[in-house]
Structure 1
Protein backbone atom coordinates (compact mmCIF):
# COMPACT_ATOMS: atom_id res chain seq x y z
CA UNK A 1 0.00 0.00 0.00
CA UNK A 2 1.39 3.44 -0.87
CA UNK A 3 2.53 5.49 2.09
CA UNK A 4 0.89 8.67 0.80
CA UNK A 5 -2.71 7.41 0.68
CA UNK A 6 -5.06 5.76 3.12
CA UNK A 7 -8.56 4.40 2.78
CA UNK A 8 -10.96 7.29 3.42
CA UNK A 9 -8.63 9.99 2.04
CA UNK A 10 -10.20 12.67 -0.13
CA UNK A 11 -8.77 12.67 -3.63
CA UNK A 12 -9.44 14.65 -6.82
CA UNK A 13 -9.44 13.67 -10.50
CA UNK A 14 -6.67 15.22 -12.60
CA UNK A 15 -8.38 14.16 -15.81
CA UNK A 16 -11.65 12.73 -17.06
CA UNK A 17 -12.20 9.26 -15.56
CA UNK A 18 -14.26 7.18 -17.97
CA UNK A 19 -15.44 3.56 -17.92
CA UNK A 20 -13.02 1.35 -19.82
CA UNK A 21 -15.34 -1.63 -19.42
CA UNK A 22 -14.17 -2.34 -15.87
CA UNK A 23 -17.52 -1.33 -14.33
CA UNK A 24 -19.98 -3.71 -16.02
CA UNK A 25 -23.16 -2.15 -14.60
CA UNK A 26 -22.37 1.14 -16.37
CA UNK A 27 -22.26 2.05 -20.06
CA UNK A 28 -18.77 1.55 -21.49
CA UNK A 29 -18.40 5.29 -22.19
CA UNK A 30 -19.81 6.45 -18.80
CA UNK A 31 -17.93 9.38 -17.27
CA UNK A 32 -17.33 8.90 -13.54
CA UNK A 33 -15.37 12.09 -12.88
CA UNK A 34 -14.29 15.25 -14.62
CA UNK A 35 -11.06 17.08 -13.81
CA UNK A 36 -11.31 18.51 -10.29
CA UNK A 37 -14.05 16.09 -9.17
CA UNK A 38 -13.80 15.01 -5.53
CA UNK A 39 -13.77 11.39 -4.45
CA UNK A 40 -12.81 9.13 -1.59
CA UNK A 41 -10.26 6.29 -1.60
CA UNK A 42 -11.99 2.98 -0.84
CA UNK A 43 -9.19 0.52 -1.60
CA UNK A 44 -5.57 0.44 -2.74
CA UNK A 45 -4.06 -2.46 -4.63
CA UNK A 46 -2.26 -3.56 -7.76
CA UNK A 47 -3.21 -4.56 -11.28
CA UNK A 48 -3.54 -8.32 -11.75
CA UNK A 49 -1.55 -8.16 -15.00
CA UNK A 50 1.33 -6.23 -13.40
CA UNK A 51 1.61 -6.28 -9.62
CA UNK A 52 3.96 -3.28 -9.80
CA UNK A 53 1.15 -1.13 -11.23
CA UNK A 54 -0.70 0.53 -8.37
CA UNK A 55 -4.49 0.83 -8.68
CA UNK A 56 -6.51 3.11 -6.41
CA UNK A 57 -10.22 2.37 -6.07
CA UNK A 58 -12.12 5.65 -5.76
CA UNK A 59 -15.80 6.57 -5.41
CA UNK A 60 -16.34 10.02 -6.95
CA UNK A 61 -19.06 12.44 -5.92
CA UNK A 62 -21.74 13.11 -8.48
CA UNK A 63 -23.23 16.56 -9.03
CA UNK A 64 -25.95 15.49 -6.58
CA UNK A 65 -23.35 14.82 -3.86
CA UNK A 66 -23.95 11.05 -3.98
CA UNK A 67 -20.93 8.78 -4.31
CA UNK A 68 -20.77 6.82 -7.55
CA UNK A 69 -19.55 3.26 -8.07
CA UNK A 70 -15.98 2.27 -7.18
CA UNK A 71 -13.62 3.01 -10.07
CA UNK A 72 -10.03 1.85 -10.47
CA UNK A 73 -7.64 4.74 -11.13
CA UNK A 74 -3.94 5.07 -11.79
CA UNK A 75 -1.99 7.31 -9.39
CA UNK A 76 -1.18 9.82 -12.14
CA UNK A 77 -4.92 10.36 -12.77
CA UNK A 78 -5.38 11.65 -9.20
CA UNK A 79 -4.22 14.41 -6.89
CA UNK A 80 -4.63 15.22 -3.21
CA UNK A 81 -3.92 18.90 -3.89
CA UNK A 82 -7.21 20.80 -3.55
CA UNK A 83 -5.78 23.94 -5.20
CA UNK A 84 -4.63 21.93 -8.21
CA UNK A 85 -8.08 20.31 -8.41
CA UNK A 86 -9.81 23.72 -8.30
CA UNK A 87 -7.60 24.94 -11.17
CA UNK A 88 -8.53 21.84 -13.21
CA UNK A 89 -12.29 22.22 -12.69
Structure 2
Protein backbone atom coordinates (compact mmCIF):
# COMPACT_ATOMS: atom_id res chain seq x y z
CA UNK A 1 0.00 0.00 0.00
CA UNK A 2 1.26 3.48 -0.90
CA UNK A 3 1.30 5.88 2.01
CA UNK A 4 -0.46 9.21 1.34
CA UNK A 5 1.68 12.32 1.62
CA UNK A 6 1.29 16.04 1.22
CA UNK A 7 2.48 17.90 -1.87
CA UNK A 8 5.90 19.57 -1.62
CA UNK A 9 4.58 22.82 -3.15
CA UNK A 10 1.28 24.70 -2.79
CA UNK A 11 -1.13 26.57 -5.04
CA UNK A 12 -0.06 30.17 -5.61
CA UNK A 13 3.60 29.40 -4.89
CA UNK A 14 6.23 30.77 -7.24
CA UNK A 15 8.58 28.10 -8.56
CA UNK A 16 11.26 27.86 -11.20
CA UNK A 17 11.95 25.21 -13.81
CA UNK A 18 14.69 22.90 -12.52
CA UNK A 19 15.22 21.45 -16.01
CA UNK A 20 14.31 22.41 -19.57
CA UNK A 21 10.65 21.42 -19.97
CA UNK A 22 10.14 19.77 -23.35
CA UNK A 23 6.95 19.15 -25.28
CA UNK A 24 5.81 15.59 -24.63
CA UNK A 25 3.05 15.92 -27.21
CA UNK A 26 0.68 17.81 -24.91
CA UNK A 27 1.11 21.01 -26.92
CA UNK A 28 0.00 20.36 -30.50
CA UNK A 29 1.12 23.82 -31.68
CA UNK A 30 4.73 23.05 -30.69
CA UNK A 31 6.96 20.49 -32.33
CA UNK A 32 7.72 17.27 -30.44
CA UNK A 33 10.57 17.68 -27.93
CA UNK A 34 10.57 21.48 -28.42
CA UNK A 35 11.70 23.36 -25.32
CA UNK A 36 8.61 24.99 -23.83
CA UNK A 37 10.26 26.46 -20.73
CA UNK A 38 13.99 26.90 -20.13
CA UNK A 39 15.70 26.00 -16.86
CA UNK A 40 15.41 28.85 -14.35
CA UNK A 41 12.22 30.33 -15.81
CA UNK A 42 9.83 31.40 -13.03
CA UNK A 43 6.15 30.52 -12.87
CA UNK A 44 3.28 30.18 -10.41
CA UNK A 45 1.44 27.02 -9.42
CA UNK A 46 -2.21 27.45 -10.35
CA UNK A 47 -3.51 23.96 -9.62
CA UNK A 48 -2.34 20.70 -8.06
CA UNK A 49 -3.54 17.28 -9.14
CA UNK A 50 -2.48 13.76 -8.35
CA UNK A 51 -1.74 10.72 -10.48
CA UNK A 52 -2.91 8.06 -8.03
CA UNK A 53 -1.43 5.00 -9.77
CA UNK A 54 2.04 6.53 -9.95
CA UNK A 55 1.62 8.33 -6.59
CA UNK A 56 2.81 11.60 -8.17
CA UNK A 57 1.60 15.15 -7.68
CA UNK A 58 1.11 17.05 -10.92
CA UNK A 59 1.57 20.80 -10.63
CA UNK A 60 -0.02 23.03 -13.24
CA UNK A 61 2.46 25.91 -13.49
CA UNK A 62 1.63 29.17 -15.27
CA UNK A 63 4.85 30.32 -16.91
CA UNK A 64 3.19 33.36 -18.53
CA UNK A 65 2.24 34.12 -22.11
CA UNK A 66 -0.69 31.69 -21.68
CA UNK A 67 1.68 28.78 -21.15
CA UNK A 68 0.52 26.44 -18.38
CA UNK A 69 2.63 23.30 -18.10
CA UNK A 70 2.04 20.17 -16.02
CA UNK A 71 5.15 19.41 -13.95
CA UNK A 72 6.21 16.80 -11.44
CA UNK A 73 8.18 17.70 -8.31
CA UNK A 74 11.55 16.83 -9.84
CA UNK A 75 10.99 19.32 -12.68
CA UNK A 76 10.48 22.40 -10.50
CA UNK A 77 12.05 23.98 -7.41
CA UNK A 78 11.09 26.68 -4.93
CA UNK A 79 11.83 30.23 -6.04
Q: Same fold per TM (> 0.5)?
A: yes
More helix by share: 1
Q: Residue 23 of structure 1: CA displacement? A: 2.5
Q: Does 1:57 align with 2:60?
A: yes
**Structure 1: 5+ residue runs without aligned partners?**
62-66, 83-89
**Structure 2: 5+ residue runs without aligned partners?**
1-5
Q: Residue 18 of structure 1: CA displacement? A: 1.1
Q: TM-score of the superposition, structure 1-length normalised?
A: 0.68
Q: Is the 8 A contact 1:14 1:77 kept in 2?
A: yes
Query: Who is 2:24 aligned against?
Result: 20
Q: TM-score of the superposition, structure 2-length normalised?
A: 0.75
- Root-mean-square deviation (Å): 2.0
Partners in 1 of 2:71 and 2:38 — Cα distance? 13
